[in-house]
Amino acid sequence: METLREIKALDDAVKNQIQTIDAFARTNRSNIALVEASLVGGVRGHDAKLRATLHSVDDGLTRARGELERAADALRRVQAI
């Protein structure tokens, strides 16, 4: 029974992390839109670097969310055993 509680706690933690990533990703995407709307070329390509960094963060969040989804699926499979 203790193992089931631990699995449930892990599942809850994974779900919370997914929610946190979703919220951060929404904010990041909003920031990307603001930056892209306000940048019209910059000295030494700093605007392009900033855009690339923000997009890289978004890609990383997408990958992290996918891994957490896979972890949640695995936990559900374990709970079903």
* Total-model pTM: 0.77
Cβ atoms of 61 and 28 within 8 Å: the answer is yes
C-alpha 76/C-alpha 56 separation (Å) is 30
pLDDT in tens, 19-56: 999 999 999 899 888 888 877 666 667 777 888 888 99
Share of the chain above pLDDT 90, in %: 49
Domain boundaries, given as residue ranges, for the chain: 2-80
Contacts of 22 (CB under 8 A, 6+ apart): 65
pLDDT at 19: 96
